[in-house]
Amino acid sequence: MVDQNNEPMTARAWQWMCEQEAFVIKDVVAVTGMSEPHIYKVVKDWISSGHLIKNPAGVATKPAWFKVATLGKAPPIGKNSGAKKPKCRSKRKTNQQKMWNTMKISSRFTLSDLMLTANVGQRQAWHFTNNLVKAGYVKVLYKVDKFLPVRARTGLTGRFQLVRDTGRHSPICRANGCWDQNQKRLYPFLVEGDEHGNVA
């Protein structure tokens, strides 16, 4: 009976953790209503199993914080590990989602920013950004003239700005446009080649 009552709260706690960049124990207690001893035990188990990461710091004036180690990999919930497990959306682990998160946080960015934060190559960063430009999500603030001599282009980098932030989930690039997962609609690619052409 106790496990059955606690299991939904544990599942709810995991779902909430997946949505946070980082969290402290008191926040989990406030959101789920779980007791501190219970959530401490759950967190300790999930750290041991590799589902959570703990900041080694932690004193009375600065409590330790935790974060989910791997989104999409849910821990066993309750005694029966075959029971329902809350699933963090695996799409949030995709490189496109990581790049989208960077765009949302920074607003203005470069391809180098995306390559660094999402751990992607220049081609992938360019392809995703170029599609978002063509679909109207991103505006080109500064475009490096590819006809300049190589020496003149040294140190120059294109700059972009996110102008259409529709929500948490990244757009999905398709052949004819970008599918917006937040608004459940397709933004077709714009046809003005001069203004919305390649972003490199």
Residue 147 has pLDDT above 70, yes or no: no
| DSSP 3-state of 160 | strand
| DSSP 3-state of 93 | helix
* Residue labelled with tokens 């007791």: 35
Q: Which two tokens stand for residue 13?
A: 């706690």
Q: Tell me what pLDDT residue 99 has.
A: 94
> Is 0.75 topped by the overall pTM?
no
pLDDT tens digits, one per residue of 167-199: 999 999 999 999 999 999 999 998 754 444 455
Give the pLDDT band (50/70/90) at residue 17.
Answer: confident
Q: Tell me what pLDDT residue 81 has.
A: 41
pLDDT tens digits, one per residue of 26-82: 888 888 788 888 888 888 888 888 888 887 655 455 677 888 887 777 787 765 443
pLDDT tens digits, one per residue of 81-128: 434 445 555 444 689 999 999 999 988 999 888 999 888 998 999 999
How many Å from the N-terminal Cα to the C-terminal Cα in the chain? 60
Residues 113/101, Cβ–Cβ less than 8 Å: no
Q: Cα–Cα–Cα angle for 183, 188, 190, nearest 5°?
A: 130
Q: Where are the alpha helices (DSSP H) in the chain?
A: 2-18, 25-32, 36-48, 95-106, 111-118, 122-134, 150-153, 193-196
Domains of the chain: 2-80 (1.10.10.10), 91-196 (1.10.10.10)
Q: Tell me what pLDDT residue 4 has.
A: 45
CA–CA distance, 19 with 200 (Å, rounded to integer): 33
CA–CA distance, 188 with 186 (Å, rounded to integer): 6
Q: Tell me what pLDDT residue 90 has.
A: 47
Q: Cα–Cα–Cα angle for 12, 17, 18, nearest 5°?
A: 100
Q: Tell me what pLDDT residue 156 has.
A: 52
Q: Tell me what pLDDT residue 195 has.
A: 42
Residue 10 has pLDDT above 50, yes or no: yes
| Phi/psi-derived region of residue 21, left when phi > 0, alpha when psi is between -120 and 50, beta in every other case | alpha
